[in-house]
């Protein structure tokens, strides 16, 4: 395992459709984070998990967004009824509990038409 992986890398969808992204963290990293990055901006925090527990959610995470990490390993981020404003890069990062830093995946680029 060489790093955080995300799938798909690119997703194009029509407004109103549902989409789901997957993140596989580095093995044994028990903390997993989701960020959103719009064009020309830095990543912004959405939510994070310690093991399977979702510990914090940003105000950016509207009711149309839901994230899960059912077994404390991979995580999914679902967006329901997508809007054009949801177009962004969705980044996943993982870290191990204790003094450490977050390592990012390559991201999923979402385009809503």
Partner 1 sequence: GQQLNQSPQSMFIQEGEDVSMNCTSSSIFNTWLWYKQDPGEGPVLLIALYKAGELTSNGRLTAQFGITRKDSFLNISASIPSDVGIYFCAGQTNFGNEKLTFGTGTRLTIIP
Binding stretches for partner 1 (CB under 8 A): 4, 31, 33, 35, 40-45, 48, 56, 58-60, 91, 93, 95, 97-107, 109
- Among residues 103, 76, 108, the alpha carbon closest in space to that of 1 is found at 103
Q: How many CA atoms lie within 13 A of 26 on its CB side?
A: 16
- Other beta carbons within 10 angstroms of residue 55's beta carbon come to 10
For residue 14, give the 3-state DSSP assignment.
coil
Which is nearer to partner 1, 44 or 83 (by Cβ)?
Answer: 44
Residue 62 C-beta: closest distance to partner 1, Å: 13
Residue 109 C-beta: closest distance to partner 1, Å: 7
Residue 76 C-beta: closest distance to partner 1, Å: 18
**Cα–Cα distance, 23 to 4 (Å, whole number):** 7
Which is nearer to partner 1, 19 or 90 (by Cβ)?
Answer: 90
């Amino acid at each position: 395992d060489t790093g955080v992986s995300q799938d798909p890398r690119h997703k194009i969808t029509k407004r109103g459709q549902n989409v789901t992204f997957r993140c596989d963290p580095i093995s044994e990293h028990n903390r997993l984070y989701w960020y959103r990055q719009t064009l020309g901006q830095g990543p912004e925090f959405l939510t994070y998990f310690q093991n399977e527990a979702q510990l914090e959610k940003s105000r950016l995470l509207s009711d149309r967004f839901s994230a899960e990490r059912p077994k404390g390993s991979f995580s999914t981020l679902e967006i329901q009824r997508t809007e054009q404003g949801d177009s962004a890069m969705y980044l996943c990062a993982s870290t191990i509990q204790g003094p450490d830093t977050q390592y990012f995946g390559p991201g999923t680029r979402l385009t809503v038409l």
